[in-house]
Amino acid sequence: MQPTFKLSSAAIGAAVLCLTLSARAATPATTPDPAAQGAFSAESTLNAGTRGSDISLNVGVRGAGSVRYGPQNLFDRRHFTRSTDNNAGKYVGMPRTFYVQASLAY
């Protein structure tokens, strides 16, 4: 049988586009084991930021745990980080960064 897909939420606001797609693998009615079903949720977020160069794209899959990855600052050529919160010092940062974030529910 074909898996079923459902778009559970779509929101646009403050230059952020967030789509959440969940899917459940359909099992035949003759299968006595309900544990044969599987479900996952995929999420994608596109954030344009205040400037057009602050675009970041996040893609993730959620289940018992979650894994998210994506690039940040795709078109920004000047990116700064603060040295501490107590002074106004700035360090030049990397303009394009990629991240991986993982979590596990227990």
* 12 alpha-carbon distance from chain centroid: 15
100 vs 96: CA distance, rounded Å: 14
pTM above 0.75, yes or no: no
Residues near 41 by Cβ (< 8 Å), separated by ≥ 6? Answer: 8, 20, 21, 22, 23, 61, 62, 63
Structure tokens that stand for 97 in this block: 């960064």
- Asked if residues 40 and 53 have their Cβ atoms less than 8 Å apart, the reply is no
pLDDT band at 39 (very low <50, low <70, confident <90, very high): low
Report how far apart, in Å, the C-alpha atoms of 94 and of each of 37, 53, 58, 77 are: 43, 14, 18, 8
Domain ranges for the chain, please list them.
Answer: 4-104
Model confidence over 48-73: pLDDT tens digits? Answer: 656 555 556 666 665 566 666 777 66
